[in-house]
């Protein structure tokens, strides 16, 4: 297997404190050796071993590939009018999901695949190398199964989200829809999924309905995730911890009990700055979580209604400015934190043995990702190849994708 050495790295973020300075394990004047699959060596530039190929970082920063642990990539249509209305003062209530459901149901497989691939290309150009993808915009047995087929072609981190909202045809029969999700829909979708998720919030599913869905999904062998506390203190965080969900996402409204539960659990608090930006939500949760010692992840939440975002750099900029995270906290949360939200130990860092997911920036320091918000600062993305790889997302074996 061919090896590559990346030399002349001005600043290397490893996310291993034993290798460098601070929580991000930062090394200056560094080098890293990889093969097609894994990191083989990390250390000072002057001590780098020989390899089959040399890549000159030209004194630029190098970081682990971003781990985007919350996306809704498979959808049709757009909702810019809804965004404009929110900016004019209309509050977000989750109701616009029905618009995307109607558009997605009416769109062909070919067009859905094309549109999803465009979003994947944009994520990749910004340095995302691991991506989670949810269903949730069909809300029928065959429709949800179709979305998971598309997602499963491009990622192993596939999430069944039949419990996104109650569709219009079940508006007067909520129990009937929960039964459908927990019965025929789960039966069709569980074999195509690794995770199950539920939107436990006002206007979606209450705590009891959400617990029913998650319990059925766990019995079917799926691991659990939760959308919670986006629209209020509605019990999603407590339920996620109770059910040992890997992550509870949004966490916009947190009381002291929620904070204590998260800090005493293995559930990651995944914050979604793009959604907070698009809904003008309160951003104070991040500092409260970090100061209490909770594990925090950052993700794009790419979706057409509240976060049509395909740039992790934009996410970092919002996290630093509006959520008042320092840059190292934000970068760690978008890499190692995202990996922990997926209960993965092979991505989100660059210590020996990690997957060889490496991003070379066109900047001397990683902090430029937030400092120069809106700039395209990714020079190269190297994505590990192996038995986990998916055609169309990881591309040809050993391929280096230019940003």
Q: What is the CATH number of the domain that holds 55?
A: 2.30.40.10
Each residue's pLDDT tens digit, 287-324 = 999 999 999 999 999 999 999 999 999 999 999 999 99
Confidence (pLDDT) at 211: 98
Same domain for 153 and 38: no
Per-residue model confidence (pLDDT) at position 95: 77
Same domain, 281 and 187: yes
Q: Which two tokens stand for residue 73?
A: 């990539």
What was the pLDDT predicted at 390? 52
Average pLDDT of the residues of the chain: 94
* pLDDT value, residue 138: 98
Distance in angstroms (rounded) separating the CA atoms of residues 324 and 122: 26
Helix (H) or strand (E) holding 298: strand 296-298
State whether 75 and 98 are in the same domain: yes
Q: Determine the straight-line distance between the first and last CA of the chain, rounded to whole angstroms.
A: 25
Q: Which of 315, 341, 367 is the last residue of a domain?
A: 341
Residues 242, 357: one domain?
no
**Tokens found for residue 9:** 């790295």
Q: Give pLDDT, residue 2.
A: 94
The pLDDT of residue 10 is 98
Q: Evaluate if residue 400 carries a pLDDT over 50.
A: no
Output the CA–CA distances (angstroms, integers) from residue 18 to 24, 27, 30, 147, 328, in the order listed.
10, 11, 15, 42, 16
pLDDT classification of 387: cutoffs 50, 70, 90 = low
pLDDT digits (tens, 9 = 90+) for 165-205: 999 999 999 999 999 999 999 999 999 999 999 999 999 99
Same domain, 302 and 395: no
Averaged over 96-108, what is the pLDDT?
96
Q: How many domains is the chain partitioned into structurally? A: 2
Alpha-carbon gap, residue 151 to 143, rounded angstroms: 13
C-alpha–C-alpha distance, residues 284 and 295, integer Å: 15
Whole-number percent of the chain with pLDDT over 70: 95
Helix (H, G, I), strand (E, B) or coil at 56: strand
Can you tell me the distance from the alpha carbon of 218 to that of 195, in angstroms, rounded to the nearest whole number? 9
Interval 244-278: pLDDT, tens: 999 999 999 999 999 999 999 999 999 999 999 99
Beta strand pairing call for 268-271 and 296-298: parallel
Which of the listed residues 313, 341, 369 is the one where a domain comes to its end? 341
Q: Are 398 and 95 in contact (CB under 8 A)?
A: no
Same domain flag for 278 and 172:
yes
Share of the chain above pLDDT 90, in %: 93
269 and 382 share one domain:
no
Among the candidates 341, 367, 393, a domain finishes at: 341
Q: Is 401 exposed, middle or buried (0-12, 13-18, 19+ CB in 10 A)?
A: middle
Q: Are residues 310 and 353 in the same domain?
A: no
Per DSSP bridges, beta strands 26-35 and 3-13 are: antiparallel
Q: Do residues 172 and 25 share a domain?
A: no
How far is Cα 284 from Cα 229, in angstroms, rounded to an integer? Answer: 13
Q: What is each CA distance from 283 to 48, 66, 336, in whole angstroms?
A: 43, 22, 21
Under the banding of pLDDT at 50, 70 and 90, the label for residue 395 is very low
Q: pLDDT tier at 120 (50, 70, 90 boundaries)?
A: very high
Question: Which pLDDT score, from 0 to 100, does residue 393 have?
Answer: 43
Listed residue (305, 277, 284) closest to 81, CA to CA: 305
Q: Are residues 319 and 372 in the same domain?
A: no
Residues 135 and 244 placed together within one structural domain of the fold: yes
Structure confidence at residue 118 (pLDDT): 95
Cβ atoms 223, 194 nearer than 8 A: yes
Copy the structure tokens of residue 59. 């004194």
DSSP β-ladder status, 66-68 and 128-134: parallel
Q: What's the CATH number where 246 sits? A: 3.20.20.140
Average pLDDT (150-160) is 96
Domain, as residue range, for 20: 3-65+348-402
> Token pair of 117, please?
């691939």
pLDDT of residue 163: 98
Binned at pLDDT 50, 70 and 90, residue 388 comes out as low
What is the arithmetic mean of pLDDT over 317-339? 98
Residue 403 has pLDDT above 50, yes or no: no
Q: What is the pLDDT at residue 394?
A: 39
One domain for residues 328 and 359: no
pLDDT score of 112 more than 70: yes
H helices present in 92-223, as ranges: 97-105, 109-125, 141-152, 174-180, 186-189, 207-219
């Amino acid at each position: 297997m061919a090896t590559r050495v990346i030399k002349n790295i001005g600043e290397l973020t490893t996310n291993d404190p034993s290798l460098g300075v601070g929580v991000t394990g930062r090394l200056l004047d560094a080098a890293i050796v990889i093969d097609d699959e894994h990191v083989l060596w990390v250390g000072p530039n002057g001590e780098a071993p020989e390899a089959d190929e040399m890549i000159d970082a030209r004194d630029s920063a190098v970081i682990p590939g971003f781990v985007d642990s919350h996306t809704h990539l498979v959808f049709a249509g757009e909702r810019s009018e809804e965004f404009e209305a929110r900016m004019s003062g209309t509050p977000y209530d989750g109701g616009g999901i029905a618009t995307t459901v109607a558009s997605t149901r009416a769109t062909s497989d070919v067009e859905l695949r094309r549109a999803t691939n465009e979003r994947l290309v944009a994520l990749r150009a910004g340095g995302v190398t691991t991506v989670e993808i949810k269903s949730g915009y069909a809300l029928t047995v065959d429709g949800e199964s179709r979305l998971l087929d598309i997602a499963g072609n491009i990622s192993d981190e596939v999430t069944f989200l039949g419990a996104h909202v109650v569709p219009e045809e079940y508006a007067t029969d909520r129990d009937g829809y929960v039964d459908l999700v927990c019965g025929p829909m789960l039966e069709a979708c569980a074999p195509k999924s690794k995770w199950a998720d539920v939107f436990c919030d006002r206007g979606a599913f209450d705590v009891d309905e959400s617990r029913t869905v998650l319990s059925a999904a766990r019995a079917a062998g799926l691991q659990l995730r939760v959308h919670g506390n986006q629209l209020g203190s509605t019990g999603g965080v407590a339920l996620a911890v109770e059910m040992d969900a890997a992550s509870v996402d949004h966490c916009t409204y947190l009381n002291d009990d929620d904070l204590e539960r998260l800090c005493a659990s293995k559930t990651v608090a995944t914050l979604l700055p793009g959604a907070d930006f698009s809904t003008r939500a309160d951003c104070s949760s991040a500092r409260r979580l970090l100061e209490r010692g909770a594990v925090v992840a950052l993700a794009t939440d790419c979706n057409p209604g509240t976060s049509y975002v395909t740039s992790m750099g934009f996410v970092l900029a919002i996290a630093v400015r509006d959520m008042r995270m320092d840059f190292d906290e934000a970068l760690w949360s978008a890499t190692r934190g995202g990996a922990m939200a997926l209960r993965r130990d092979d991505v989100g860092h660059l210590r020996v043995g990690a997957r060889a997911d490496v991003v070379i920036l066109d900047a001397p320091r990683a902090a430029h990702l937030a400092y120069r918000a809106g700039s395209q600062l990714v020079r190269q993305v190297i994505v590990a190849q192996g038995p986990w790889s998916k055609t169309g997302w990881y591309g040809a074996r050993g391929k280096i994708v230019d940003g």
